[in-house]
Amino acid sequence: MGESQGVLSIRGRALRHNRGVASDISDESGSADARRPSAKAVLRRSGLTCLALLVLYFAVPIHSGSDQLTILLQVGLSIAALIALLFGLKNQLLRQLSSPNAPLGGLAVGVLGGLLLFALIDYAVAVYAPAEFHDLKTRIDALYFAMATLLTVGFGDVSAQGQFARGLLCVQMLFNVAVLATTGSLLARQIGARVQRRRPPL
């Protein structure tokens, strides 16, 4: 009789312990979900970041009369921004691969950031060395050319004519294929997969 009561007591303690562990796990899961930003918050933050990047693209001062020190500083900042963009996109890609439900805003911002960065570089080259590009005169022209290059739908109205511009365009196309296209493809797949998961079963 004593042994059976002892066994029952041990089983009761084990059951209470398991319930406590399950409760802790549930609490942790709930707190993690609570900490995860809502879709609206992610969309709003990503939209504001994209808007800020567009404003920055049109606000960065680039003038034909700039001195060499200013040009060198802009070149250094462009290289630093490109390196930061590469690391940021790499982290976002790894985050998506390890956690498919992670917010997608970072990927969208990274694609736009890469597009605007190369558009700004193209515009700077056209301003400081006008003979390098044909018919690239404004920032809108540069953005149009960068988008045409990314989407591989060149129309021939804007083109790289100088050797430096063509070399820059080769780097840009490699970056587009290796980084931006991969990121954009993953972004599209993740959006499609999430839409499929949210559809009610037939």
Sort strands 133-134 and 159-160 into parallel, antiparallel or unpaired: antiparallel
State residue 18's pLDDT score: 52
Asked if 153 contacts 188 with a C-beta cutoff of 8 angstroms, the reply is no
Token output for 9: 């007591």
Q: Which residues of the chain are under the pLDDT cut of 50?
A: 2-3, 6-8, 21-34
Angle at 70 between CA 87 and CA 117, to 5 degrees: 35
The pLDDT of residue 39 is: 67
Q: What is the pLDDT of residues 11-42, one digit of tens each?
A: 555 555 555 544 444 444 444 444 556 767 87
Prediction pTM value = 0.70
CA 57, distance to chain mean position in Å, is 17
Q: What is the pLDDT at residue 16?
A: 57
pLDDT (0 to 100) of residue 15:
53
Q: What is the pLDDT of residue 13?
A: 56
Position 90 scores a pLDDT of: 75
Predicted local confidence at residue 30, as pLDDT: 47
Place of tokens 């004519």: 161
* Strand ranges, E, within the chain: 133-134, 159-160
CATH number of this structure's domain 37-198, picked from the four choices 3.30.70.2190, 1.10.10.10, 1.10.1740.10, 1.10.287.70: 1.10.287.70
**Quick one: pLDDT at residue 7?**
44
Report how far residue 93's alpha carbon sits from residue 87's, in angstroms, rounded to the nearest whole number. 10
